[in-house]
Amino acid sequence: MPTTGLESLNQPLQIGQRRIDRRLNLAPLTFLGHIAFRELVSEFGGCGLLFTEMCSARTILTENRYTSPYFRWRDQERQRLVCQIFGRDPETMARAAARVQSEGFFGVDINFGCSAGNICKRGCGAALLKTPSEAYAIVAAVRRAVDIPLFVKYRIGWQDDPAPAVEFALGFEREGVDALTFHPRVAPDRRARPPRWNYIAMVKQAVDIPVFGNGDVFDSRDCARMLALTGCDGVAIGRLAVAQPWIFAAWNNAYRPPPDIHRRAAFRLLELLTAHYDPAAALRRFRRFAYYFASNFTFGHSFYSRIRNAADLPAVSAVLERFFASPPQRCSRLNANYLL
Active-site residue numbers?
114
Exposure string for 187-220, b = 16+ CB within 10 A, e = fewer = beeeeeeebbbebbbbbbebbebbbbbbbbbbbb
Distance CA 219, CA 190 (A): 20
Residue 73 near residue 52, CB atoms below 8 Å: yes
Residue 71 near residue 102, CB atoms below 8 Å: no
Helix axes 90-102, 132-145, angle to 10 degrees: 30
Using the Cα atoms of residue 89, residue 173, residue 187 and residue 340 in order, give the sign of their dihedral: negative
- In this structure, the strands spanning 107-112 and 81-86 are parallel
Residue 293 near residue 330, CB atoms below 8 Å: no
Q: Which of 102, 128, 98 is nearest to 115 (CA)?
A: 128
What is the end-to-end Cα distance of the chain in Å, rounded?
32
Which residues, including other chains, have CB under 8 Å from residue 45's CB and lie 6 or more apart?
248, 249, 252, 253, 255
Annotate 167-227 with DSSP letters as a single string.
HHHHHHHHTT--EEEEEEEETT-SSSS---HHHHHHHHHH-SS-EEEES---SHHHHHHHH
Residue 198 near residue 204, CB atoms below 8 Å: no
